[in-house]
């Protein structure tokens, strides 16, 4: 089997992921639907409808495509599996993207869970434009993906203004390094919106040209938009630090 390079693994806010590897079930429901941009597989009796997932992904895809003016040259495979704890990954390669989302079968029945599901799918999808190997600012990229995902969700009424502010301004559940970057992004988004748009478009252009083959140096972009003194916030959180160290040598975004 062709070994695909893991390019993006989202862990920062999806801490402590223990998958339910139970093999005792024989009645697992497997469902697949194919849409314009996605092939969605469900591997479990999830209450969250597969059509809701594909509609959300198509909506987010069109938003990101218009935002970055970049159309992905492949169809995206999305898998949803049953697990005790929610988790999300995006295995990116130059010839495709495989998004894998895990959550319990009964998940998504209250606002908190619904918001998390929205974020998981749209966050991992956004890594198709803002993802891949970087030589620095991996946490900055992760923070940007989290931030821009919440902008999409807010601008399209998936989350309320209060939820958006909680996620971006307060961000109480994020590690401090993520929050530091988010504060910078929020200031630019709010006070220099066109500059913020240019910033994320420049990053997406660089990732697209890099074709996910080599570590990308995003520092020039950060310096251009945030000044020469832009600091790469290093993980002080032991849990986050250990997860970064456990990632592959070429250090994908988290």
User: Stretches 52-60, 106-114, 142-150, 180-188: which one binds Zn ion (CB under 5 A)?
Assistant: 142-150
Q: Which is nearer to Zn ion, 10 or 60 (CB)?
A: 10
Instruction: Tell the smallest beta-carbon distance from residue 159 to Zn ion (Å).
Output: 17
User: Stretches 62-70, 140-148, 152-160, 237-245: which one binds Zn ion (CB under 5 A)?
Assistant: 140-148
Q: Which is nearer to Zn ion, 86 or 105 (CB)?
A: 86
> For residue 197, how far is the Cα from the chain centroid?
18
Choose, by CB under 5 A, the member of 2, 3, 5, 10 that binds Zn ion: 10
Q: Which is nearer to Zn ion, 10 or 40 (CB)?
A: 10
Instruction: Tell the smallest beta-carbon distance from residue 162 to Zn ion (Å).
Output: 23
Instruction: Tell the smallest beta-carbon distance from residue 129 to Zn ion (Å).
Output: 12
User: In the chain, which residue ranges form alpha helices assigned H by DSSP?
Assistant: 50-68, 111-126, 138-155, 161-165, 176-191, 193-210, 219-226, 238-246
The half-sphere exposure of 237 on its side-chain side, counting CA atoms within 13 A, is 17
Tell me the three state secondary structure of residue 77: strand
Query: How wide is the angle at C-alpha 83 spanned by C-alphas 175 and 23, nearest 5°?
Result: 145
Q: Which is nearer to Zn ion, 53 or 89 (CB)?
A: 89
Q: Does 178 bind Zn ion (CB under 5 A)?
A: no
Of 79, 113, 109, 92, whose CA–CA distance to 9 is shortest?
Answer: 92
Distances (CA, A) of 99 to 115, 197, 221: 18, 25, 27
CA-to-CA distance for 141 and 126, rounded, in angstroms?
11
Cβ-contact 16, 36 below 8 angstroms: no
Q: Which is nearer to Zn ion, 145 or 208 (CB)?
A: 145
Q: Which is nearer to Zn ion, 105 or 123 (CB)?
A: 123
CA-to-CA distance for 50 and 13, rounded, in angstroms?
24
| In the block, residue with structure tokens 């803002």 | 130
Q: Which residues bind Zn ion (CB under 5 A)?
A: 10, 142, 145
């Amino acid at each position: 089997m062709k070994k695909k390079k893991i390019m993006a693994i989202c862990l920062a806010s999806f801490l402590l992921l223990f998958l339910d590897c139970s093999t005792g079930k024989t009645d697992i429901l497997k469902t697949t639907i194919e849409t314009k941009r996605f092939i969605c597989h469900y591997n479990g009796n999830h209450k969250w409808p597969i059509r809701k997932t594909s509609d959300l992904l198509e909506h987010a895809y069109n938003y990101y495509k218009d935002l970055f003016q970049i159309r992905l040259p492949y169809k995206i495979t999305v898998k949803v599996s049953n697990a005790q704890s929610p988790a999300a990954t995006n295995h990116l390669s130059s010839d495709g993207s495989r998004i894998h989302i895990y959550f319990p079968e009964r998940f998504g029945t209250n606002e908190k869970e619904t918001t998390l599901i929205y974020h998981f799918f749209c966050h991992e999808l956004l890594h198709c434009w803002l993802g891949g190997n970087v030589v620095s600012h991996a946490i900055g990229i992760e923070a940007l993906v989290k931030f821009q995902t919440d902008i999409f969700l807010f601008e399209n009424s998936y989350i309320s203004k209060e939820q958006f502010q909680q996620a971006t301004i307060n961000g109480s559940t994020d590690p401090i390094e993520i929050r530091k970057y988010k504060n910078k992004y929020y200031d630019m988004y709010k006070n220099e919106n066109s500059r913020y748009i240019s910033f994320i478009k420049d990053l997406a252009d660089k990732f697209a040209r890099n074709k996910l083959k080599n570590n990308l140096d995003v520092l020039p972009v950060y310096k251009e938009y945030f000044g020469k003194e832009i600091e790469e916030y290093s993980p002080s959180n032991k849990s986050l630090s250990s997860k970064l160290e456990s990632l592959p040598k070429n250090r994908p975004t988290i």
